[in-house]
Amino acid sequence: MRIEIHGQHIDVTPALNGYVGTRFERLARHFDQPFDVRVVLSVEKSRHCAEATLTPAGRTFHADAEGSDMYAAIDMLADKLDRLLLKHKEKLVDHHRGEGLARTGDLA
């Protein structure tokens, strides 16, 4: 997973950079193939916003979050992306292909 972090009206400090990296580590467990994440952190007056675009294997996911401080916004963003990836992964799995009686031939 490659993470690009950009800041609008905010300097991306090494602490913020490390925090984004640790919070987004759990997203890598959903896919075996590497993917890119582009994170934009911004501050407008008292609003701290974080938004991310995730591109795994031909798909694009986008989420944004707003919090009281930048760390809270990053936490909410990571949770939203985790839910998006879980929902996408559930759609990929075919739940109707289980080993039922008709497939095994035990209909006697």
pLDDT band at 100 (very low <50, low <70, confident <90, very high): low
Within a domain: 17 = yes
16 vs 107 pLDDT, higher one: 16
Within a domain: 102 = no
DSSP state of 16: H
Q: Which of 32, 27, 70 is nearest to 51 (CA)?
A: 70
Within a domain: 103 = no
Tell me the CATH number at 90.
3.30.160.100
For 35-77, how does the pLDDT look when each residue is reduced to its tens digit (9 = 90+)? 899 999 999 988 999 999 999 878 899 999 999 999 999 999 9
Within a domain: 29 = yes
Q: Which long-range contacts (CB under 8 A, 24 or more apart) does 85-91 make?
A: 85/27, 85/30, 85/31, 85/54, 85/56, 85/61, 86/30, 88/59, 88/61, 89/30
Domain count, the chain: 1
Domain that holds residue 37: 2-94
pLDDT at 106: 56
Within a domain: 106 = no
CB-based contacts of 100: which residues, under 8 Å, 6+ apart?
A: none
pLDDT at 57: 79
Within a domain: 105 = no
| 3-state DSSP assignment of residue 47 | strand
